[in-house]
A and B are shown apart, each in its own frame.
Chain A
Amino acid sequence: MRQKILIIEDEFLMLSFLQQRLQKEDLAVSIASDGDQAMELINTNKYDCILVDLMLPFISGFELISHIRANTINQATPIIVLSALGNEKTIVEAISIGANDFLKKPFALNVLVIKLKLLLKGHFISHTA
């Protein structure tokens, strides 16, 4: 069975590009373009990994991460943050509230793919331990 990924990103081009790229890795990719949409998907579906942007309409990426880690069926799902906000404070905050990895935009696609594969194999520190 194919592993399920959720991409939360408000830039349409980026979203569809990542969706097509990850589908090539034989992953079942769902997408959400704002915080509300993402919240609905997170509450109703179980994912193997979630890629999230921090600057989103309606609900920010930080709030989404906190919500995922608080009490959802995706509480233990690894999360990768993809964001242009790459300063030390943002990275520390994102990881401390529950993100497993952080990729600052611009990033290399191959790096994202390899990080994702490692996370899907279970190479990450669990935030629920």
Chain B
Amino acid sequence: MLAQDQNVLFLFDRSFDHFPLFIQIAIMIILLSVFLFLTGISYLFLNRTISKHVELRLKSIRDLVAGQLMVDLLNDKELSTHELNSWASKIISLSRKKRGYNQILIDQIIFYHHNFTGHTTIMLKSLFNKLKLAAYAERKLKKNNWVLKAKGLREIQEMTPITKEDMLKPLINHKNDDLRIEAQATYIRLNQTNPFDFFEHINEELSVWHQILLFETVTNTPNLAIPRFSQFLGVKNPSLVSFYLKLIAHYHQLDAVMALINLLNLSSALRFSNLA
């Protein structure tokens, strides 16, 4: 009897078994709802506390990185190799101790790189290489999350002059639209001698938005080897032909006139879109 009394379920049965069934069900639902509500509230509270803690930790690292970068970049004179090396080794030792340090460093270097030119840019690129941050960015390309992959691609195309084609090529036909565009833009920016060779392997249609982004990349990348686009007009992908036509018009490639006349004989919707 004592053993039965100590059983919680038994007590529960004894307390409610004289109620009608629907009341018992209602009580169960109420108890379950209260339990779920309290669990939800605890989860939110815990999540907020953790996020606040992480944000505080990241803020202190952000300030630390900003301070160090400023001290370095504020130097009017160019840093000697010895100075740069000692600065870099100090940063590397810190990045081993603090999680998130490398990412914040990359974010801030890219921020300054967007806002300044001249001596500051040279210094930033040099720091990026010394700190081996390209390898850190490249590691993101191996992650499963496409957002991280796209972030890695953006960091690489912003800060490094070259990248490994074998890492980039599989992403050029990735099923995720955003990642695919980012990969193609990166390829164009970094492969300056033959930036359009990947188009042969493109299977997907280029949406208008996709074409605009690639067009911006091509026209805004300095020192890009611009080919005669008329040679590519024979491809079977109509969206690609449409894209090439926009570039032909932009670069005033008058030698493409004959190829354009041939396109007029096409009886597909492509002709109308191209003429438009």
Contacts and interface: CB of A to CB of B under 8 A. Distances in A.
Contacts of A108: 116-120
Contact of A110 (B66, B115, B119): B119
A16 B73 CA distance: 12
Interface in A71-93: none
B120 A109 contact: yes
Contacts of A111: 118
Given A13-B66, A13-B108, A16-B66, A106 B115 contact: yes
Q: Decide if the interface of chain A is mainly helix, strand, loop or mixed.
A: helix
Contact of B111 (A13, A20, A109, A110): A13
Contacts of B70: 16-17, 20
A13 B119 CA distance: 18
Contacts, number: 42
B43 interface: no
Interface residues of A, number: 15
B118 A13 contact: no
Interface in B102-117: 108, 111-117
Residue in A13, A107, A108, A111 with the greatest tally of chain B CB atoms within 10 Å: A13
Interface of B: 66, 70, 73-74, 76, 108, 111-121
16 contacts: A14-B111, A17-B70, A17-B73, A20-B70, A24-B74, A105-B114, A106-B116, A107-B116, A108-B116, A108-B117, A108-B118, A108-B120, A109-B118, A109-B119, A110-B118, A110-B119
Interface of A: 11, 13-14, 16-17, 20-21, 24, 105-111
